Amino acid sequence: MNGIHDLGGLHGFGKVEVEQDEPVFHERWEGRVFGMCLTFGGRRGPNVDAARHRSERLDPVSYFQNGYFGRWLATFEMMLKEEDVLAEGELEDYMNGAAVQKVADGDAPPPQRRPLRGIDAVREVDHPPRYGEGQAIITRNHQPAGHTRLPAYARCRRGVIKKVHPAMVFADTIAHEQGENPQYVYSVEFDGAELWGDTAEPGTVLRLDLFESYLEAA
Amino acid sequence: MKTIHEHGTPEISLRVEALESLLEERGLINPVAVDRVIQHFEQDVGPLNGAKAVARAWIDPDFKSRLLQDAAAAISELGITVGDNVQVIENTPKEHNVVVCSLCSCYPWSVLGLPPTWYKSPAYRARVVREPRKVLAEMGVDLADDVTIRVWDSSAEIRYMILPQRPAGSESLSEEELIPLIMRDAMIGVANVTLPDKG
């Protein structure tokens, strides 16, 4: 998705502000939101890629305005609406003193589904990887309206495969509940100049972990 | 980007309080479980886990090769549970590595805890892929022109941690003495490990 989340290489964001000895959570609400997201008793949406895609679907102002945990809150509320836990305006009504409709007895929340992440993404597939270490590739001009993990700055760029990772569930389809479609993932190295042209800093290279279908032989 | 509310507005606190209480009344949130998660990430998980692995790698070459080969297995030897698909990358005098997630804020939680605010900031995510040398210099790491910088943009489910260079002059230090010198930022690649000033 060509969204504001795809920040790599954008200009205009200024200096990286570093806070010394910062706490894990700066405000109480940040910890509460984080904890609620990890312990919510109902279905938490399909998987972690769907969760990432919710944050991509925030409008650009909402994406930035309350920082990282603001995105967690906004996407948690989005998930609650998509899973029919909260109706539009219901939280606002509750804040204004409306009574809560209790869950009826025997209508307990469904068992928790652990969000898919990390090692859980690896799958066995019955075919060998299409590309090997040392092979030159070019990335496809892949820009779907939905979720993808190919950043815009790395489209149509030449790189070299440095490592073949195991096959993993394909982010682009699983985020939309269109199946796992596991694919090999490759650690691809790009020269700074290939990505940034004559503005590249000398002596810099970049590594991305890319799904097989993002790539073509160069 | 100083006009944004990096840590929220007063209204947001009220909203979150209401949301938690509504979901608790529905039986979908248990505040005690929320407390436990907060406590876990404030107290139990943090960069100390990564620092222990780095210190061990510096004093034990066999552990180091296992750490670079299969980080999760090696780190679990130290009694640390690794929930991420972690890969450890070694910094050398000629190659400096630094980690980012330009698309969101992926980070190796189980070895470094939750990421600092700067790691999640638009400035870092936008800039370190394009001008790592300048960003590193601003953050206090000046690298010679002949040092290659490799930026690892965490675009899939592999999470990266950097094995920093052991500081010169630390040869006589024990593993326990090394651990407190190894700060989080060095394991992201935006700092070097240094010895404390004598005096």
In this structure, are B178 and B142 located in the same domain?
A: yes
Q: Do the two domains A1-108 and A119-217 of this chain adopt the same fold?
A: no
Phi–psi pair at A187, nearest 5 degrees: -85, 110
Query: What is the tens place of the pLDDT at every residue in A183-208?
Result: 999 999 999 999 999 999 999 999 99
What's the CATH fold of domain A119-217?
Answer: SH3 type barrels. (2.30.30)
**Does the beta carbon of A152 lie under 8 angstroms from any beta carbon of chain B?**
no
- d(CA B2, nearest CA chain A) in Å: 9
Domain span at residue B34 reads 10-43
Same domain, B17 and B79: no
The interface predicted TM-score of the complex, written ipTM, equals 0.94
Please indicate whether residue B38 or residue A106 has the higher confidence score (pLDDT). Answer: B38
Domain spans, chain A: 1-108, 119-217
**Strand A204-211 to strand B148-153: parallel, antiparallel, or no bridges (unpaired)?**
parallel
The reply to whether B197 falls in a domain is no
Is residue B169 in a domain? yes
Q: For residue B153, give every residue at least 6 positions away whose Cβ sits within 8 Å of its Cβ, in sequence order, or none.
A: A8, A151, A206, A207, A208, B100, B101, B102, B103, B129
Nearest of A33, A74, A26, A86 to residue B17 by alpha carbon: A33
Selected residues 54-83 of chain A with any CB under 8 Å from a CB in chain B: 55, 64-70, 73, 76-77
Would you call B155 a catalytic residue per the annotation?
Answer: no
| Spatial distance between the Cα atoms of B49 and B35, rounded to a whole number of angstroms | 22
Chain B positions in Cβ-Cβ contact with residue A211 (cut-off 8 Å): 156
User: How many domains does chain B fold into?
Assistant: 2
| CATH code at A1-108 | 1.10.472.20
In a domain, B198, yes or no: no
Q: Are residues B148 and B77 in the same domain?
A: yes
Query: Is B106 an active-site residue?
Result: yes
Nearest to B104 by CA among A38, A73, A6: A6
Q: Are residues B70 and B24 in the same domain?
A: no
Report pLDDT for B3: 45
**Under DSSP, is residue A172 helix (H, G, I), strand (E, B) or coil?**
helix
Per-residue pLDDT of B144-185, as tens digits, reads 999 999 999 999 999 999 999 999 999 999 999 999 999 999
Residue A111 in this model has a pLDDT that exceeds 50: no
Residues B28 and B111 placed together within one structural domain of the fold? no
**Residue A109: predicted pLDDT:** 52
Residue tagged active-site, from B13, B21, B65, B104: B104
Determine how many CB atoms are found less than 10 A away from the CB of residue A161: 19
The residue among A152, A149, A139 whose CA lies nearest residue A171 is A149
How far apart CA B181 and CA B162 sit, in angstroms, is 15
The pLDDT of residue A118 is: 55
Q: Which residues pair with A187 in a beta bridge?
A: A163, A209
